[in-house]
A and B are shown apart, each in its own frame.
Chain A
Amino acid sequence: MALVEVEHLSVDYRSRDLPPSHAVRDVSFSIAEGEFVGLLGESGCGKSTLGNALLHLLDRPAHHAGGSVRFDGQDLYALSERDVNRLRWREIATVFQSSMNALNPVLRVAKQFHDAMDAHGWREGVDGDRHARIREVLADVELDADRVMRSYPHELSGGMRQRVVLALALLLRPRFVLLDEPTTGLDVLVQRSIVELLRRIQREQGFTVLFISHDLGTVLEIADRVMVMYAGEVVESRPSAELATNPLHPYSHGLLGSFDDPRAEHVSVAYIAGRPPALTEPPPGCPFAPRCPSRLAACDDVVPTLDDAPEAAGPGPSLVRCHLFTDVGAAELGAGTVPETPRFAEVTAWSGAASSAEGREPLVVVEDLVKTYERRRGLRKERVEAVRGVSFTLVPGQVRALVGQSGSGKSTIAKILTRTERATSGTLRVDGVDPGSLRRAALREYRSRVQMVFQDPFAALNPTKTVGDSLGRPLRNYLGLTGDALWQRVLELLESVGLSPAATYVDKLPHQLSGGQRQRVVVARAMAPRPRLLVADEPISMLDVSIRAEILELLADTVREQDVTMLYITHDLLSARLLADDIMVMRSGEIVEQGPTAQVVREARHPYTRSLLDAIPRPARAGAVPAGPTATESTTPTGAPA
């Protein structure tokens, strides 16, 4: 019998003003004891809601709208709150998104472990010695138990705190662990190490895991089986090796297409145009149909069901929700026809194409740039060297990527270039001037020539201002436009970043737009004063995987059409490979490797560059990972009857 059985589970978000939104719709699946299952989906697909529903943790305005969740045979929604509480932590543990911030800042780590044991009835002697257990579990997550137990949370790094939280979840030897985006928000290299650690412990100890993530590469590498969710439904459930090599659902195809190996000779990445449907009124047909390149006539008005995949898909238990593989599709395609591979819009690496930058005077010259921060710690002054003697030039029309993990000093360089901060020493000339020396009018004029694209499109637009207002400000301030001319230019800008028809977007507030649309507005605002230098600080890292390439394409087109210089700051070598002519790799305030993109990525010399390359998840690697020793039981997910 499966450990977790979910049948026809539905969750609605209800509020008084809006029609209810069906976030999770009739989802059924089961997880066998010892299985490691990934739940993959983009923001808004209902995966976190499903996770909360599994734990019986739905909070207003979410409501359990039907179906059951059985854990080891007991229906959680039939048990009393007290009985569910008895199961939590002891049997069912969880690590939530950004839960490294969930540690109590005023208690030592050891105390928090003791509290969890007390609250959930650790029986001394029966369950073992508590001190020994804490030591054991901390050692499992590769932490120095003596040091960590005496520490306060703020004395530990983000990665260490995340390990502590994981150790807390595993403390009482739960049989089922739900991990909701456990590595999101951590540095790439740390993320990688935690994922590997997790997989190793799971194999050794054999607990059951549901791993919720938007990060396809990680999920495919770590999980035995992956369920792909779209618009509140599971659309495909496959052993991960099979999903990685031969996805069936067009949506899975699209997601996989957003990865490629940056070391390959030809790199291209796909994106899925459009956005998921609103779930207030479930569409009459397949919810993915409007974005699907393989759409059939039936997709618009017949809802597909989650059925067994054709045998050709592979030996493992496979389910897919798509008309291409049903009788409906067969009738339309002609029996026995193998559906063609869906073709999504693609972005191909620019690198390698002849650069227009050859032989032009550099726009930005940086020589031996140093930035030191001074912090007062009690009576002592502490110096932090964020940037230590960096030199480079930027030529007009060139895109140069600055790559490094968090804390490497790359954002400090962005701040100095945009004159949010001043350099401590070194020479800096941007378009003939030293930004550090500028005041008032000259500074204002400088800002019109150097613009910035921010990381978080949710924070970069004022929530109280309409799109038109936000775009109008730089036009009014720098170009002196007013009235109809201003309006006209705002509409042109919106069209130029692909928000068309522009008139429908000008009056929208940021919260009415999707992440991708907001980032387009941010790009439009940066381009409004016709800048000469564009600094883009991680512009795609907060966006869904399926639309990242779309924004990269927009940035590439913008730069090349308008002859702007761009400094593209990122931790992700794949996107750097797609966009940049040259790459600089930065570590601890110094540039450790630089050169033409293809050369740096394909023949990386510095070990740090190589470790960054290794941190890029490669779905294809999923096939290489053998199944865990404890996941022996055959896992048959239950199909959702129509």
Chain B
Amino acid sequence: MSAVTLDGPPAVTARRPRLLRTPRWFVILWRNKKARFGMVLLALFLLMAAFAPWLAPYDPRDGGFAPGLPPSAEHWFGTTGRGFDVASQAIWGARTSLLVGLVAGTISTLIALAIGMTAGYLGGFADEVLSFFTNLVLVVPTLPLMVTLAAYMPGGGGVWMVIVVIGITGWAGGARNKRAQILTLRNREYIQGARQAGDGIFRIIFREIAPNMTSLIVVGFIGAVGGAIGAEAGLAFIGIGDPETISWGTMLYWASQDGALLTGGFARLVVPGLLLALLTTALTFINFGVDALSNPHLREQ
């Protein structure tokens, strides 16, 4: 990564055992102020999700409180129209968002990698077919597709159905990026060298080329996670999936069903909305730092 194009002297490497050293990528990310902000914020969300049972003041499924209470010492953000504690639901909701985001993001990134990289590397007829398929998915409007898929999906509307729907609809843009990137990498001499050394197609794609586009893959993955989190909230808000799941999206759904805006329950709208915005912001800020990994000029000195 430290390809210095100027007439510079060779780099001196630190002399510490490999395992004890802070990984280079982490140092670069941490130095970037935006990325540091994003990572701290994301860490807070992860802690919130992991320690939800201890952090939440009540059981999020305990509907035994008076409905529509305003914020108070007992109920920090009040209660919902059905008598649930808003704060507890918001804390537990982080689990759903992160789970859907990470798993659906991984699925769509894997599909994007497999299709984009194979198309880009093979070229010719295989590329024509795979690119056509990618373009097809790109032009079909995502939201109606997701709604339709969710309606016909077996296994009736749990979180996992939402994950699968988001995973298999969100890969097309990423596949295109990866295809474009591999087109510039496939003609490098070291790829030709690997071919001369007898390596097979898949080894070349995933072991020779992929490590050289790590930062692009990571940027794509983080973007996909953010997209999946948003999509989950959107689907839940329009009532697709199980409305009894506790997530920020269903909180918004119920708030809208209860007419929270009319009855003055602003906290029920603002809290999940703000958390969603903060989480996607955190991911975006981390991506600024990942850019610096691949482009030394963006690093903060």
The residues of A with any CB-CB pair to B shorter than 8 Å are: 13-19, 21, 23, 43-49, 60-62, 276, 278-280, 418, 420, 444, 447-448, 451-452, 454-456, 459-465, 470, 473-474, 477-478, 511-512, 514, 522, 525-526, 528-529
Contact = CB atoms under 8 A, between A and B. Distances in A.
Contacts of B10: 44, 278, 512, 514
B192 interface: yes
Considering the complex of A and B, which 6 residue pairs feature the smallest CB-CB distances, nearest first?
A477-B198, A474-B197, A464-B211, A459-B189, A473-B197, A460-B189
A349 to B, nearest CB: 29
Given A447-B198, A462-B212, 10 more contacts: A23-B8, A44-B7, A62-B6, A280-B9, A451-B196, A452-B193, A454-B189, A454-B193, A463-B3, A477-B199
Main secondary structure of the interface of A (DSSP, over half): loop
A49 B189 contact: no
A529 B198 contact: yes
Given A61-B301, A451-B196, A459 B188 contact: yes
Contact of A23 (B7, B27, B190): B7
Contacts of B14: 17
A544 to B, nearest CB: 12
Contacts of A464: 211-212
13 contacts: A13-B6, A19-B12, A44-B10, A49-B6, A60-B301, A420-B195, A451-B196, A454-B193, A463-B190, A463-B212, A511-B11, A525-B197, A529-B197
B170 to A, nearest CB: 28
Contacts of A18: 11-12
Contacts of B208: 462, 465
Contacts of A444: 198
B263 interface: no
Contacts of B190: 459-463
B13 interface: yes
A19 to B, nearest CB: 7
A420 B192 CA distance: 8
Contacts of A511: 2-3, 11
Given A418-B196, A460-B189, A48 B7 contact: yes
A460 B13 CA distance: 23
A529 B199 CA distance: 13
Quick one: which of A16, A17, A460 has the most chain B CB within 10 A?
Answer: A17
Nearest to A22: B9
In the complex, which of the residues A276, A464, A477, A529 has the most CB atoms of chain B within 10 Å of its own CB atom?
A: A464
A462 B11 CA distance: 18
A418 B189 CA distance: 13
Interface in B17-56: 27, 31
Nearest to A45: B7
A47 B6 CA distance: 10
Interface of B: 1-3, 6-14, 27, 31, 188-190, 192-199, 208, 211-212, 301
B194 A278 contact: no
B13 A49 contact: no
A15 B2 CA distance: 12
B163 to A, nearest CB: 32
A13 B189 CA distance: 30
A43 B4 CA distance: 12
Contact of A473 (B8, B12, B31, B198): B198
A277 to B, nearest CB: 8
A526 B195 CA distance: 11
Contacts of B301: 14-16, 60-61
A14 B198 CA distance: 42
B272 to A, nearest CB: 40
Given A16-B301, A17-B14, A462 B194 contact: yes
A452 B189 CA distance: 10
B69 to A, nearest CB: 53
A48 B11 contact: no
Contacts of B3: 463, 511
Nearest to A462: B190
B198 A478 contact: yes
A511 B8 CA distance: 12
A52 B113 CA distance: 42
A278 B12 CA distance: 9
Scoring B27, B198, B301 by chain A CB atoms within 10 A of each residue's CB, the highest score goes to: B198
A447 B208 CA distance: 18
Nearest to B3: A511
A21 B4 CA distance: 13
B197 A512 contact: no
B212 A46 contact: no
Contacts of B193: 452, 454, 460-462, 470, 522, 525
A44 B188 CA distance: 24
Contacts of A278: 9-10, 12
Which of B8, B195, B301 has the most A CB atoms < 10 Å from its CB?
Answer: B8
A236 B27 CA distance: 42
A462 B205 CA distance: 13
Given A44-B7, A464-B211, A474 B189 contact: no
A278 B10 CA distance: 7
B9 A473 contact: no
A473 B212 contact: no
Contacts of A474: 196-198
Contacts of B194: 462, 473
B125 to A, nearest CB: 16
A279 B198 contact: no
B196 A452 contact: yes
Nearest to A420: B192
Contacts of B11: 18, 511-512
Nearest to A478: B198
A333 to B, nearest CB: 32
A463 B2 CA distance: 10
Contact of A43 (B2, B7, B195, B211): B7
Contacts of A62: 6
A47 B12 contact: no
B198 A452 contact: no
A512 B193 CA distance: 19
B61 to A, nearest CB: 49
A347 to B, nearest CB: 25
Contacts of A21: 8-9
A512 B13 contact: yes
B207 to A, nearest CB: 9
A473 B211 CA distance: 16
Contact of B8 (A13, A447, A452): A13
A478 B3 CA distance: 32
Nearest to B13: A512
Contacts of B31: 16
A448 B198 contact: yes
